[in-house]
Structure formats: C-alpha cells, structure tokens
Structure 1
Amino acid sequence: MSNKKITIYTDGSCLGNPGRGGYGAVLLFNEHRNELSQGYKHTTNNRMEMRAVIAALTELKEPCDVILYTDSQYVKNAFTKKWLDNWLKNGWKTAAKKPVKNKDLWQQFIPLMDKHNVTFRWVKGHSGDPENERCDDLARNAAGSLDLIQDEEE
C-alpha cells in the first residue's frame, strides 16, 4: 500500500522581528482540509516559518508523501541545499563555523523528515496564491491574538 499524498502550505509571521509571531498551515488530502495556527509572545519570523512546517508534519499520524509549499527560502534551502545535513556533520556549526541558529527546531525536523517523504516547493509570498494567502492570514491573526504562548528557545 502506498503512502497518502498530502499537500501542505505553510507560512510564518512576525509583528516586529523579533516580536509577537504566529504560524499558519493548511493541510489538504482529497476533499479534506485542516487549518492550523498558533501565536507566540516573542519570537522571530524564521522560527514561525519553521514551526508552521513542524506543526503540519506532526499533524500527520502515518507516513505520507508530502508536497510542502513554503515562501521561506530559509526552510526550503535547509533541505534542498542540504544545509541541515551539513550542520549535522559539522556538529551544529555553519560553514562559517558559527553555531546554527534555531537548532532546537531543526532537531525537531529530523524525525519528521525520516517519517515522511517531503518535497519542498517554494511559492512567492504575497503573490496571490490562495492557499499561501490563507496561511499568511492564519499566521498574522495568530500573532495578533490573545492566545499567545512562549517560544521556548530564541
């Protein structure tokens, strides 16, 4: 039996960077649609982009084939340009020998990427893609909500 084929759109938002932030994700499977969002008290845009993907992939209860659309080059390139693999080989140091930022979240990606077959696709933000725009709305609304939680590591 083959894996379910899921399409995911994600976006992160920060009102100030750093500042209040939020993420939004839309998961599509056949006629099913699931929207996720959460706001944070003090965070960065990159962390919200990452949390959107982590939340969406965590939502999947079995291994899936995923097409994941993000407007974050940071997230996409970590996988398509093998940045994460290199950081792991270099003991969580960048090519410039500096500590990798957001290591706590990158570490959360590893089991998710092992579980799912994820293909990253970049979508230009604010370009009229309906699902990307929906994720942007979810992220901005979450960042502006009263239901904000602490982003543990900054």
Structure 2
Amino acid sequence: MCQEAVGPPAVTQESGSQKEEPELNTVNCSTYKRPYEQSTNEEQIAKRVKHDEVCSTPAVSEDKFSYMGDFAVVYTDGCCSGNGRNRARAGIGVYWGPGHPLNTSERLPGRQTNQRAEIHAACKAIEQAKSQNIKKLIIYTDSKFTINGITSWVDNWKTNGWRTSSGASVINKEDFERLDNLAKDIEIQWMHIPGHAGFRGNEEADRLAREGALKQKC
C-alpha cells in the first residue's frame, strides 16, 4: 500500500443531513462564478453514449493506491472558466496520488458548468474504482453541492418526480442520475475538504481540472 499521506484524516465526513439548498456554484476557477446555473437543452443532446461508456482500463497494482483503513482514497474536482457564458470551458480532475496511472484531466462533455464538472469528476473516479475492483472508496471533494445532492437530496428528487422542494425541475437531473447509478454496488464515504486550503490532493485535482478545461471536447 502507498504509505504517503495524501489527505487530512481530520476532515469531517458529510452526513448529508443538511437542508436542501439552491443549486449554487461553489468552487473553482476563482474569478469565474455565477450564483445559478441556467437550464438549457444542451445537456439533453449531450452524447449519453460517452457518459455510460466505461473504457477498458489496465489493472493497477494495489500498492499504487492510498488507503484509509480498507478504503481507497481519491480526490476529485471540477472547474469551469466563464461559467454561465457562451464560451465557458469546463474540465474534470481526478487525483489518486503522485504519478498515479489513473490520474485524470479531461474536458467535460456537454453543458459547460461548475456543478456538472464537479459531479462528473466524481463519476469518473467511481468508474475507475470499479474498473480496479475497488469495493470501498473515500471521495474527497470541495463540492458540498455534489455531496448533499447524492447523499441527501437525490432520494427526495426521485420521489418527487425530479423536482426540488420548491417544485422546480432539478437542473442537474441527468448528472445526478448517472452518479446515483454509479454509486450502487460500491461503498462510498463522501468527505468534504476546503478548496484552495493547501491540501495537496485537492490542489492536484484542481490543477488537473483546470488543465482539462483547456482541452478540446471529445
């Protein structure tokens, strides 16, 4: 097992008990933020084949991963410059450790927003974990929106026909549907970590996300 400490064990696990909040953009690409994502038709026409596709990934030896107990540890982050604008560019970052073969920096397909990037970064990490037959996973993310959505709000959304407590349609329905489906058959602990606070794993995931935003769409 990798002995290098990649994360702060004292970071508190999110309980998912917080009250449902508006779908706020909370992180990343510093100066490019808007309070709300605008719903468009772009998400519906995004290529779902790419979303559902699990690429063949070579097996990575167990000692390449970092563990807390018997949980593998990964950091995820999403970034979007020009969020909410026509020329927005979003990327995802997944960081498993220094020089890890599964570290990922990709352009986000479909609608370019902070929130989608955060959710899809977590999706990518879960896909990778499953490809390595990892059964227990700790995901560190600075997106409380993603954590609250998957641990608390999603069940109510499904019960209410994918509407929020105020009766509005859930903007990120397809994204959370994908995350919810991927989260089955794997035990996940969702851990919130402050963004841009000097934690190496988070900083590296942020760097990968920013690099991904500069790439061309698939």
TM-score (norm 1): 0.84
Matched, 1:23 2:92: yes
1:111-126 to structure 2, matched below 5 A, reads 111-126=181-196
| C-alpha displacement of 1:141 | 0.8
| AA matched with 2:104 | L
| C-alpha displacement of 1:33 | 5.7
3-state DSSP class of the match of 1:127?
Answer: coil
1:2-151 to structure 2, matched below 5 A, reads 5-18=71-84, 19-27=88-96, 34-40=102-108, 43-60=112-129, 61=131, 62=133, 64-80=135-151, 82-145=152-215, 147-149=216-218
| C-alpha displacement of 1:99 | 0.5
**Alpha-carbon contact 1:24-1:36 (below 8 Å) kept:** yes
| C-alpha displacement of 1:144 | 1.5
Gaps of 5+ in 2: 1-69
Q: More helix per residue: 1 or 2?
A: 1
**Alpha-carbon contact 1:24-1:37 (below 8 Å) kept:** yes
Once residues 169 and 115 of structure 2 are traced to their aligned partners in structure 1, the CA distance between those partners, rounded to angstroms, is 16
Give the paired residue count.
Answer: 142
**Alpha-carbon contact 2:150-2:179 (below 8 Å) kept:** no
- Structure of higher RCO (CA pairs closer than 8 Å, 6+ residues apart): 1
**Alpha-carbon contact 1:13-1:136 (below 8 Å) kept:** yes
What fraction of aligned residue pairs are identical, expressed as a percent? 33
Q: More strand per residue: 1 or 2?
A: 1
| C-alpha displacement of 1:97 | 0.7
3-state DSSP class of the match of 1:126?
Answer: coil
Once residues 48 and 54 of structure 1 are traced to their aligned partners in structure 2, the CA distance between those partners, rounded to angstroms, is 10
| AA matched with 1:71 | D
TM-score (norm 2): 0.61
- Pair member with larger Rg: 2
Gaps of 5+ in 1: 150-154
